[in-house]
Every structure is written in C-alpha cells, then in structure tokens.
Amino acid sequence: MKRLVVIGLACLLSACQSANVLPGQPEKTGDFPTTGANFSDCVYRAAQSMRSPYIFRRKARADNLEFLVTATGSTSANFSTLPKLELRFITQGEATTVEMRDTAIGDHELSHEIWSIVDRCAQQVTKPSAAKPTAP
C-alpha cells in the first residue's frame, strides 16, 4: 500500500511539473524585447491583483528560461481546479516569446484582460530606468 502511495505521489508531482499543461495551439502568441523572469513576474503579480474568481500560479523551469503562469478555478464547487488559461514565457536571449492557451470552456473575458496585462507589463519592464546616471 505504501509503495502504491509513493508511486501515485511521484506521478502526481511529475504531472504538476509539466511545462505544457494545456494541449493544442496557442490562442495568441507575441514576441517581446525583454527577459522572461521579470516579465512573467510582472504579469503574475498584476493578474493576482485582479478581481477574479481565479487562482494564479507561476512556475519556473530549473534553468529559468521558461516560465508558466496559469489561472485555475477556485476551490469552490462551482469551479474546476484544472487550468482555464496558461501563459508560457519562453526566453530566447534578450527576447521572450509569450504563448497564451485557453481551454475550450475558458473565460474569454479573462483571456482579453490577461493579454492586456501582458502588453502593459512588456512596456513596463522594457522601459529604460529613469535613474540611469548621465555623463556631465
């Protein structure tokens, strides 16, 4: 019995670490001139601050070149705990490709709001710092 529990837990944990939670082609894709770490963190924090019945999570691949932000339903009986939306941030040098996947029963208003956050964060994290010193 203990062996079965250990095997089941290992399978569950490996499924949680999967980089591709939602199958299929992305609903939207964009390339942005910024690195994925700060970019995905900005999107994650902005999404968490939204008034929404969704729970947002951010996961990073071990090499910090790929990040995943997911929106799942709350734990209430009205919402499934399966992801409704997934943003995948793929860092390629000094640029990041963002892929957004939505479930067939996904919340299209949420998709629109999240992509607006992606655009806004892309502008915020690529702005040159106002604190840069200038030469006299």
Is 96 a domain residue?
yes
Is 15 a domain residue?
no
Show the domain range for 76.
24-126
Q: How many domains does the structure of the chain reveal? A: 1
Q: Are the CB atoms for 44 and 56 separated by under 8 Å? A: yes
> Mean pLDDT over residues 55-72, rounded?
92
pLDDT tens profile 86-129: 999 999 988 999 999 887 666 778 888 999 999 999 999 986 65
The DSSP result for 35-85, as a single string, is -HHHHHHHHHHHHHTS--SEEEEEEE-TTSSEEEEEEEE-SSTTS-SSEEE
Is 41 a domain residue?
yes
> Mean pLDDT over residues 36-53, rounded?
92
Is 16 a domain residue?
no
Is 60 a domain residue?
yes
pLDDT computed for residue 123 by the predictor: 93
Residue 2 is given by DSSP the state H
Is 12 a domain residue?
no
Is 11 a domain residue?
no
Check which CATH number belongs to the domain holding 39 and give it. Answer: 3.30.310.80
Is 33 a domain residue?
yes
